[in-house]
Amino acid sequence: MVTNQKSKPALAIKEKPKQSKSAPVATKSKKIAEIYFKTVFENAGVGIILLDLKRNILNANIAFQRFLKYSDEELSSLSLKEISHPDDYEIDEKLLNEVSAGKRTEYTIEKKYLTKDGDVVYGRTTLSSTYDLKQREKSILAIVENITRQKQFESKLVSERNFLDALLENSPDLIYFKDLNSRFLKVSTALGKKNNITVEELLGKTDFDVFGVTHAGDAFKDEQEIIRTGIPLIGKEEREDWPDGRSAWVSTSKMPFYDNEGILIGTFGISRDITLKKRIEQSQEALFKISETAFTSPDMQSLFKKIHNVVSMLMPAKNLFIALYNNKDDLLSFPYYIDQHNKPPETSKPKKGITEYVLRTGKASLIDNKRFQELSKAGEIEVIGIPPKIWLGVPLKLSGNIIGVIAVQNYEDSTSYSESEMQLFTFIAEQIAQAIERKRSSDEITRYTEELKQLNATKDRFFSIIAHDLKNPFITILGFTDLLYSDYNELSDDERLSFILEMKKSAELSFNLLQNLLQWSRSQTGRIEFNPKKLGLLKIIDENFLILNNSAEQKQIQLFNQVISTIQVTADEDMLNTVFRNLLTNAIKFSNKGGIISVRASAIENFAEIYVSDCGVGMDQKAIDNLFRLEITRSTAGTENETGTGLGLILCKEFIEKNGGTIRVESEVGKGSKFIFTLPI
């Protein structure tokens, strides 16, 4: 620091020089000029300092004193170097030397000063030299404009600009500024990378140049609404569909964009990629729905349809099929097959289709046309039907075992599926396999429950028959036997004959009922033998007519066998005899006296269709619906009060189905009934 006391400039000198006669006028003008100069010097809004040629401060006005927070006396003891920031003094010295050398008359620079407190302030400084009458350099005049606030503001702007540039260059989020027509003004580097073009190429474009029409239209609509209302859009989840087939989910916030004067000039927004989050949410929702549907679906087809719907929420699934593999029988079936071109394959042993390829490898496969050709050329697969442009199949695994394959395919768009869809499909496939197995188990339990219900009904019906229907004939026999024994001598021959006839009827009924019970119980316990063979239908019917002829004659009913001799069936003979005996007995029971019962048959493809018809009392629809249901079957008395159990018809249905046929009834009250059943030829 300079410590020597320096003299003040000329304006501070108060000695009166010797003057000529005209001196009073000159002196007066000089004084006036000094007053003006002093007034300007002290009251100027900018700092003014006067330096000697050694750069020491001679004078400083009030503005400069305030600028650096020094008093006039304190400044008078300092030099230009001591109040200048070290970074800027050298340039000052260089330029001042150029002024002294006459290379320039003045210079202006923006430089940093140090205040009394050590703070850095900024000044726009203009320096020039002052000269005496002989043009000798006398002093240095510096005018300093305080630009500290301006510099701070500029620094802030630079900092903010750097921050914005850093944000736009490094943020993983998509950041964009748009004009009133939704054209890009400024975008982040991430947005350019996602579009596989440079940031500069995006400028001036719109979403319609980047995305699919649907997403671009929705985005434009949102932005125009923000421009119209000034209301921001916060956290909207939307799907982006790209022209190349890609899709993504983003969470978007958009706000109005104003200039410095508060005039709306567009919108700006931030879109954060939430595809992974969305896929996790969708997969969790899918897992829940698949798990739930295993319990709520009434049958397997309903389960498959609901699985199809869930998969459609995650990816394009217009064409989807489920193939199930039976390891025990080594059979591959396609219980669910929705495809716009190909028909479902028949159930068979695994071949060399693309489904079997997944079964063999046990891995998910994403196969396009090129991969199809490679696998086909390598002999791994055989292309069956119309090949899709892309195929995605994953194995259905349960406890490490493959129970099938689920696949989707697209015939138009080869970009429909990618690695992300394959990963997602693989993720939910295990739950799909569990749902299918759970439904199988549920159906099996339902089947067992129904079988148990049938067994209970069988047991109850069996005891009912024994307790009631089998007991009644013996009551009749015992009653008439007691009368014959006790009143034999008092009874006439006709009375005795009548009692014996009633006893015979009861004995025959008991025998037939007991025979049906024994056959039925054997069929229920699986102990009845099944020996199908070729049988002449005409002969079987004639033999049964012979057995039942007496019963028919008692009611004056005619029996007609209209079956031609060439018709043969493949069936168990004992079971077929039981069927005819029960159907004919039933027809006789419900026919009026003088009625007609006929049996005819015709060949239809690989089956013989047999008709047992009567002209009896007939049945209403309710009776027909309950005819073969053991749990609610009730015997109806015949036209002459013949009794029965209804068990015979149940036995007929079981034996016909055991032989590979079906049975149905056509009947109308008052017009008779027609029992129609089929047997394989």
Amino acid letter at 333? Answer: S
The alpha-helical segments, DSSP class H, found in 367-470 are 369-377, 419-464
Whether the per-residue pLDDT at 182 is higher than 70: the answer is yes
Placement of tokens 């419900």 in the chain? 590
Q: Has residue 135 been placed in a domain?
A: yes
- DSSP structural state of residue 209: G
178 with 205: CB under 8 angstroms?
A: no
Model confidence at 404: pLDDT above 90: yes
130 close to 139: Cβ distance less than 8 angstroms: yes
Interatomic CA distance for residues 582 and 647, integer angstroms: 9
627 in any annotated domain? yes
* Window from 22-36, 47-61, 62-76, 653-667 with minimum mean pLDDT: 22-36
Per-residue confidence at 15, pLDDT binned at 50, 70, 90? very low
Asked if residue 458 is part of any domain, the answer here is no
3-class DSSP state for residue 128?
A: strand
Answer yes or no: is pLDDT of 14 > 50: no
261: which DSSP letter?
A: T
Q: Are 390 and 366 in contact (CB under 8 A)?
A: yes
CATH number for the domain that contains residue 311: 3.30.450.40
Residues 319, 339 contacting (CB under 8 angstroms): yes
If 0-12 CB within 10 Å is exposed, 13-18 middle and 19+ buried, where does residue 138 land?
Answer: middle
Number of H helices and number of E strands within the chain?
Answer: 20, 22
Burial of 324 (C-beta count, 10 Å sphere; 0-12/13-18/19+): buried
Contacts of 602 (CB under 8 A, 6+ apart): 567, 608, 609
Place of tokens 């702007």: 157
Claim to verify: residue 670 and residue 616 sit in the same structural domain:
yes
Cα–Cα distance measured from residue 242 to residue 269, given in angstroms and rounded to the nearest whole number: 19
Query: Which of 131-145, 254-268, 518-532 ranks highest by mean pLDDT?
Result: 254-268
Task: Identify the three-state secondary structure at position 611.
Answer: strand
Strand partners, 642: none
Residue 10, pLDDT score: 39
Question: Within this chain, do residues 302 and 434 fall inside the same structural domain, yes or no?
Answer: yes
Do 98 and 189 share a domain, yes or no? no
pTM of this structure: 0.45
Q: How far apart are CA 258 and CA 443, in angstroms?
A: 66
The β-bridge partners of 56 are 79
Residue where one domain finishes, among candidates 273, 305, 327: 273
> What's the pLDDT score for residue 133?
66
**Are both 268 and 286 inside the same structural domain?**
no
**Which 3-state string (H, E, C) describes 450-500?**
HHHHHHHHHHHHHHHHHHHHCHHHHHHHHHHHHHHHHHCCCCCHHHHHHHH
Looking at the structure, do residues 59 and 114 belong to the same domain, yes or no?
A: yes
547 compared with 259, residue with greater pLDDT:
259
> Do residue 57 and residue 124 come from a single domain?
yes
Between CA 105 and CA 113, with CA 107 as vertex, the angle to 5 degrees is 140
H helix or E strand, kind and range, residue 140? strand 137-146
Summarize the confidence of residues 421-431 as an average pLDDT.
Answer: 86
Q: What is the per-residue pLDDT for 30?
A: 65
Find tokens 């869930």 and name the residue: 310
Q: 317 and 422 in one domain?
A: yes
Among the listed residues 516, 530, 531, 541, the one whose alpha carbon sits nearest the alpha carbon of residue 649: 516
More confident site: 242 or 15: 242
What is the total residue count of the chain? 681
The closest of 47, 53, 46, 62 to 9, measured between CA atoms, is 53
Q: 215: which residues sit within 8 A by CB, 6+ positions away?
A: 207, 238, 239, 240, 241
- Name the strands in the sheet holding 596-604, side by side, starting at the edge strand that comes first in the sequence: 558-561, 596-604, 607-614, 672-680, 663-668
| pLDDT beyond 90 at 224 | yes
Tokens of 578: 């039981």
Confidence of residue 452 (pLDDT cuts 50, 70, 90): confident
Residues 246 and 384 in one domain: no
Q: Does residue 509 lie within any of the structural domains?
A: no
Distance CA 673, CA 650 (A): 17
**What is the Cα–Cα distance from 606 to 600, expressed in whole angstroms?**
17
The token pair that represents 321 in the structure block? 């099929």
From the CA atom positions of the chain, what is the Rg in Å? 55
pLDDT number for residue 274 = 83
Task: Examine residue 422 and state whether it is found in any structural domain, yes or no.
Answer: yes
Average pLDDT over residues 347-364: 91
- Are 450 and 417 in contact by the 8 Å Cβ rule? The answer is no
Residue type, 476: T
- For residues 642 and 442, give the distance between their C-alpha atoms in angstroms, rounded to a whole number: 45
Highest mean pLDDT among 229-233, 285-289, 460-464: 229-233
Residue 523 lies in a domain: no
Residues 31 and 84 in one domain: yes
Question: Which of 384, 418, 444 is the last residue before a domain boundary?
Answer: 444
Q: Does position 17 have pLDDT exceeding 60, yes or no?
A: no
d(CA 676, CA 666): 8
Report the alpha-carbon distance of residue 635 to residue 585 in Å, rounded: 13
CATH number of the domain within which 183 lies: 3.30.450.20
pLDDT class of 116 with cuts at 50, 70, 90: very high
- Whether 394 and 361 have beta carbons less than 8 Å apart is answered as no
Burial annotation 250-260 (CB, 10 A radius, 16+ → b, else e): bbbebebbeee
Q: Who wins on pLDDT, 3 or 164? A: 164
Distances in Å between the Cα of 380 and the Cα atoms of 120, 331, 333, 377, 386 are 79, 19, 20, 8, 18
The pLDDT of residue 311 is 87
Domain end position, chosen among 251, 273, 295: 273
Q: Which two tokens stand for residue 400?
A: 């490490």
Averaged pLDDT for residues 488-516: 79
Spell 176-193 as b/e; 16+ CB within 10 A means b. bbbeeebbbeebbbbbbe
User: Is pLDDT at 591 greater than 80 in this prediction?
Assistant: yes
> Is the pLDDT confidence value at 565 over 80?
yes
- Integer Cα distance of 393 and 510 in angstroms: 64
pLDDT digit string, tens, across residues 610-641 = 999 988 888 888 888 877 776 565 566 566 66
Task: Write the CATH number for 597.
Answer: 3.30.565.10
Domain containing residue 341:
279-444
Q: Can you list the pairs that 563-567 forms with residues at least 24 positions away whose Cβ atoms lie under 8 Å? A: 563/537, 563/538, 563/599, 563/600, 563/601, 563/610, 564/538, 564/601, 565/536, 565/538, 567/536, 567/537, 567/538, 567/601, 567/602, 567/603, 567/608, 567/681
- Are 294 and 436 members of one domain? yes
In a domain, 88, yes or no: yes
Amino acid (1-letter code) at residue 32 = I
- Please check whether residue 85 lies inside any domain of the structure: yes
Cβ neighbours of residue 389 under 8 Å, at least 6 residues apart?
A: 368, 369, 410, 411, 412, 413, 414, 416
Question: Same domain for 316 and 257?
Answer: no
The tokens describing 268, both together, are 């700006």
- Is the pLDDT reported for residue 159 higher than 50? yes
Most confident of 107-116, 432-441, 520-529: 107-116
Domain count, the chain: 4
% of the chain residues with pLDDT over 70: 85
Per-residue pLDDT band for 524 (boundaries 50, 70, 90) equals low
**Mean per-residue pLDDT over the chain, rounded:** 82
DSSP assignment of 24-74: HHHHHHHHHHHHHHHHHHHH-SSEEEEE-TTSBEEEE-HHHHHHHT--HHH
Residues 56 and 115 in one domain: yes
